[in-house]
Amino acid sequence: MRDVYVAGAAMTRFAKQPERNLKSLVQEAVSDAVEEAGVELRELDAAYFGNAVAGSLTGQEMVAGQVCLRPLGIERIPVINVENACASSSTAFHLGWQAVASGLHEVVLVVGAEKMTHPDKSRAFEAIGRAVDVERYPPKGAGDRSPLMDVYAEEARTYMEASGASVHDFAAVVVKNQLHGSFNPKAQYGARLTVEEVLQSREIVWPLTLLMCSPITDGAAAAVLVSEKHAPRVGGRVRVAASVIRSGVDPAHDSWIKAPSLAATAAYDAAGVGPEDIDCAEVHDAAAPAELILYEQLGFASAFEGAALIRAGHTQLGGRLPVNPSGGLLARGHPVGATGLGQLVEAVQQISGQAGARQVEGASVALTENGGGWLDGDNAAVAVHILIRG
Amino acid sequence: MRDVYVAGAAMTRFAKQPERNLKSLVQEAVSDAVEEAGVELRELDAAYFGNAVAGSLTGQEMVAGQVCLRPLGIERIPVINVENACASSSTAFHLGWQAVASGLHEVVLVVGAEKMTHPDKSRAFEAIGRAVDVERYPPKGAGDRSPLMDVYAEEARTYMEASGASVHDFAAVVVKNQLHGSFNPKAQYGARLTVEEVLQSREIVWPLTLLMCSPITDGAAAAVLVSEKHAPRVGGRVRVAASVIRSGVDPAHDSWIKAPSLAATAAYDAAGVGPEDIDCAEVHDAAAPAELILYEQLGFASAFEGAALIRAGHTQLGGRLPVNPSGGLLARGHPVGATGLGQLVEAVQQISGQAGARQVEGASVALTENGGGWLDGDNAAVAVHILIRG
């Protein structure tokens, strides 16, 4: 298999953008990524399109990629629509990587896009709630929160008991990620908050307060992946050192092993690095407690030691391993089918020194972790990528 | 890139099976394909899952593959959900082929599954109608036919005028495919009909009569793809000689070139064969006239000479190039997200001499063509595969 490089990566602002449709979001992200890559649209060999809730919210099932890319003049080439819930676009990135690594294609486009704002907000929550086995957990009608927040809350309660982590630790994750978001012009939010402000925001489901939950977001991200022959040589190259997808684990077998851990272990093997080599990471903080658990699943901390990292400031910008320098899902926003590629855009910008006020100094190895769906107590899909400069 | 082989391929009966759910259909097809391949479930490196309308009909969006495969004990490995309308499972097959060809995986599972029967039949038609740009063509509510039949009818009318083909020719396609279906125990239908009976069946939209339209069907198909190392040596091997996907063409550019033609040309190049080398073919006869047009798009006949093939009996079993020996979509049935893989199962059975009463004698090269969705006067996705024995 060949080395694969990211030649261009771009995203729209992640924000509530009720006036825009999916096509408009895709057009902006794709145009910017293709321009950065310095390729012509006619050089694209294939496109992999990740989306999660357009079917539920607008009825656009099955051919959303073709529908959104045709207005740009993208035709003829294979367009492949991918779904893996909140991990849809990192899964699309994986397929694009595979296509270039195999030698099948030279230049491919990867897109993640989501339009979530809807005049009836409960429709967005209901759509997200379909990322489970709907025969066992039928989608609820009108709701005031994503059903997955109940899952995250239960996970948080179990984790608190096992680890001694407190709501203050969860709030500290929010404070950090909102601070990071304030340095990111593409982020939905970003603010200087205190732990107390986070704890005093409206309770969604204990122990989660509103500010501990990722928001409803519209946005798109795109990347152009190329073989070495087409990789730009100016300004350093970004190599995809590992691209791993794992579905979850039946807890009857190994209750202590979860999909993010499986995926990370395989990714470290593939990249020939370990957690100690990671300079910055974007992880799936759909709810704040998940970030602490992910520190452990990804090998950044020992079991039940996740909270120690946030307490010591190690995962804050300026610390030894900044996590979610973009602001993460909590502050950058969470347009579900675009989130994974948004993380990868951040990783590319960090290791190519383009991250502006939130630049992790000297970053050359970045990890992203993107989880999707829920099945039998674990993510239905997890993607872990490792990008390395050079 | 490495050679890729089909080690096992199986399908449920394609039929109206109102009592079964998607999981049940998947379980049967996967179990049979894995058994034929002689592999253990734990040897699977990844799964690619094609489905088109579960989101619309049952609400099962985003993680249908994980939900259907977990009951079989398939976990941990990457499970990737793919949509490309009626070409969803041939697209999944393409991704599985790519994964083995690249050297990334050794043994992969490909699945196509669809549960279309619904207490309210109009819901199934409405779901299929989402395989277009729904902003431009909003899904209609209650309908008595798939909106795509209007597209096929318009295409048929244009073709009649240009080629001189008649409704008798379209009916002859039905007579042939129903005859073929009568030899296929997995087919939904199959009958010895006359041209007159086809023409006298209820008009759906002129020139299409009911028997010229593919039915609503439930079914699943599965295949196990492997590298040479794992390919069975007994009974001949089935090699994937070409796997090509194309999205459609903007008619403003080349109105005479359509996606099936683009895909077939690339597939012949990849396989090193021409249309004259094909021993049998499965093509996307969602409506009967489409089969004649496809004869031309795939190079089996010159432009506007498609009808000559059916008139001469060349594409009937016993003719020089049997097309749709399975019965095609018209008689074998059309569970949209399973159809492409159903075609590939037939191709495998034909070139490995397992096709029973519908066996094409000495078949060693088979082509499948599977179209999906509609955009700007062309398929939004087309997959062409060429399988070769040995």
pLDDT digits (tens, 9 = 90+) for A122-159: 999 999 999 999 999 987 766 788 888 999 999 999 99
The pLDDT, as a whole number, for residue A330 is 98
* Residue in A94, A118, A284, A334 annotated catalytic: A334
Q: Is B62:A130 a contact under the CB 8 Å cutoff?
A: yes
Q: Of the candidates B171, B244, B108, which has an alpha carbon nearest to the alpha carbon of residue A46? A: B244
Half-sphere exposure of A196 (CA within 13 A, CB side): 0
Query: Residue A96 carries which side chain, given as an amino acid letter?
Result: G
Residue of B nearest to A376 (CA): B70
Per-residue pLDDT reduced to its tens digit, B343-365? 999 999 999 999 999 999 999 99
**pLDDT digits over B15-40, tens only?**
999 999 999 999 999 999 999 999 99
- Residue at B220: amino acid letter: A
3-state secondary structure B36-71: HHCCCHHHCCEEEEECCCHHHHHCCCCCHHHHHHHH
Confidence of residue B390 (pLDDT cuts 50, 70, 90): confident
* Alpha carbon distance A224, A29 (integer Å): 11
Q: Are A53 and B61 inside 8 Å of each other by CB?
A: yes
Q: Is A76 on the interface with B (CB under 8 A)?
A: yes
The answer to whether A62 contacts B130, with C-beta atoms less than 8 Å apart, is yes
Catalytic one among A68, A86, A213, A280? A86
Q: What's the pLDDT score for residue B233? A: 58
Contact A55/B375, CB-based, under 8 Å?
no
Closest-approach residue (CA) in chain A for B258: A76
How close, in Å, is residue B383 to chain A by CA atoms? 9
Task: State whether residue A289 sits within 8 Å of chain B by CB.
Answer: no
What pLDDT shows up at residue A236?
Answer: 67
Compute the distance between CA of residue A155 and CA of residue A157 in angstroms, rounded to an integer: 6
Average pLDDT over residues B132-142: 84
Question: Going by C-beta distance under 8 Å and a sequence separation of 6 or more, which residues neighbour residue A138?
Answer: B59
Residue B287 pLDDT greater than 90, yes or no: yes
Q: What is the mean pLDDT of residues A10-15?
A: 98
Could you tell me which chain A residue has the CA closest to the CA of B87?
Answer: A62
Phi, psi of A335 (to 5 degrees): -80, 95
Strand partners, A224: A8, A109
- Calculate mean pLDDT across residues A377-390: 95
Residues of A in contact with B246 (CB under 8 A): 76-78
Q: Give A255's pLDDT tier (boundaries 50, 70, 90).
A: low
Residue A332 has pLDDT above 60, yes or no: yes
Give me the pLDDT at residue B222, please. Answer: 98
Q: What is the largest CA-CA distance in chain A?
A: 56
- Candidates B61, B88, B123: best to mutate against A (most CBs of A within 10 A) is B61
Q: Which of the residue ranges A90-99, A252-261, A317-326 would you say has the lowest mean pLDDT?
A: A252-261
Burial (0-12, 13-18, 19+ Cβ within 10 Å), A217: buried
- What are the tens digits of pLDDT across the range B154-186? 999 999 999 999 999 999 999 999 999 999 999
pLDDT value at residue B254: 61
pLDDT score for B361: 97
Task: Report which of B367, B42, B38 is spatially closest to residue B235, judged by C-alpha positions.
Answer: B38
Distance CA A75, CA A320 (A): 45
Q: Parallel, antiparallel, or unpaired for β B365-375 and B378-389?
A: antiparallel
Q: If you average pLDDT over residues A298-307, what whole number do you get? A: 96
Q: Are A323 and A315 in contact (CB under 8 A)?
A: yes
Amino acid at A64: A
Side chain identity, residue A162: A
Is there a contact between B263 and B369 (Cβ–Cβ < 8 Å)? Answer: yes
Whether the CB of B266 is below 8 Å from some CB of chain A: the reply is no
**Beta carbons within 10 angstroms of residue A166's beta carbon:** 12
Give the other-Cβ count within 10 Å of A162's Cβ.
10
In this complex, which of A101, A135, A380 lies closest to B66 when CB atoms are compared? A380
Q: Is the pLDDT of residue A235 over 60?
A: no
Tell me what percent of the residues of chain B surpass a pLDDT of 90: 90
Tell me whether residue B11 is exposed, middle or buried, using C-beta atoms within 10 angstroms of its C-beta: 0 to 12, 13 to 18, 19 or more: buried
Q: For the segment B198-234, what is each residue's pLDDT rounded down to a tens digit?
A: 999 999 999 999 999 999 999 999 999 999 988 875 5
Show residues of chain B in contact with A60, CB under 8 Å: 130, 133-135
Residue B131 C-alpha from the chain's centroid: 16
Written in H, E and C, the secondary structure of chain A is: CCCEEEEEEEECCCECCCCCCHHHHHHHHHHHHHHHHCCCHHHCCEEEEECCCHHHHHCCCCCHHHHHHHHHCCCCCCEEEEEECECHHHHHHHHHHHHHHCCCCCEEEEEEEECCCCCCHHHHHHHHCCCCCCCCCCCCCCCCCCCHHHHHHHHHHHHHHHHCCCHHHHHHHHHHHHHHHCCCCCCCCCCCCCHHHHHHCCEEECCEEHHHECCCCEEEEEEEEEEHHHCCCCCCCEEEEEEEEECCCCCCCCCCCCHHHHHHHHHHHHHCCCHHHCCEEECCCCEHHHHHHHHHHCCCCCCCCHHHHHHHCCCCCCCCCCECCCCHHHHCCCCHHHHHHHHHHHHHHHHCCCCHHHCCCCCCEEEEEEEEEEECCEEEEEEEEEEEEC
Contacts of A99 in chain B (CB under 8 A): 98
Q: How far is CA B314 from the centre of its chain?
A: 21
Residue B311, pLDDT above cutoff 60: yes
Please give the C-alpha separations between residue A259 and each of A294, B20, B78, B234, in angstroms, as whole numbers.
11, 30, 10, 38
CA-nearest of B75, B141, B142, B71 to B113 is B71
Confidence of residue B142 (pLDDT cuts 50, 70, 90): low
Q: Is the pTM of this model over 0.80?
A: yes
**In 3D, which of A245, A156, A168, A241 has the Cα closest to residue A205?**
A156
In whole angstroms, what is the distance from residue B225 CA to residue B93 CA?
9
How far does the CA of residue B198 sit from the closest CA of chain A (Å)? 32
The answer to whether the CB of A331 falls within 8 A of the CB of A181 is yes
Cβ distance B184 to B329 under 8 Å?
no
Residue B151, pLDDT > 60, answer yes
A230 is catalytic: no
| pLDDT above 70: percentage of residues in chain B | 97
Q: What string of H, E and C letters represents the secondary structure of chain B?
A: CCCEEEEEEEECCCECCCCCCHHHHHHHHHHHHHHHHCCCHHHCCEEEEECCCHHHHHCCCCCHHHHHHHHHCCCCCCEEEEEECECHHHHHHHHHHHHHHCCCCCEEEEEEEECCCCCCHHHHHHHHCCCCCCCCCCCCCCCCCCCHHHHHHHHHHHHHHHHCCCHHHHHHHHHHHHHHHHCCCCCCCCCCCCHHHHHHCCEEECCEEHHHECCCCEEEEEEEEEEHHHCCCCCCCEEEEEEEEECCCCCCCCCCCCHHHHHHHHHHHHHCCCHHHCCEEECCCCEHHHHHHHHHHCCCCCCCCHHHHHHHCCCCCCCCCCECCCCHHHHCCCCHHHHHHHHHHHHHHHHCCCCHHHCCCCCCEEEEEEEEEEECCEEEEEEEEEEEEC
Q: Is the pLDDT of residue A251 over 80?
A: no
Name the residue with tokens 């039946």: A250
The alpha carbon of residue B220 and the mean position of all alpha carbons in its chain are separated, in whole angstroms, by 12
Using CA atoms, how far residue B54 sits from A21, B65, B84, B344, B354, in Å, is: 24, 11, 13, 22, 31
Contact A292, A167 (CB under 8 A): no
Question: What is the reported pLDDT for B234?
Answer: 54
| Residue range A160-217, pLDDT digits in tens | 999 999 999 999 999 999 999 999 999 999 999 999 999 999 999 999 999 999 999 9
Give dist(CA A348, CA A366) in Å, integer. 8
pLDDT of residue A216: 96
Cα A152 to Cα A145, A157, A251, A252, B107, distances in angstroms:
12, 9, 17, 20, 34
ipTM of the complex: 0.96
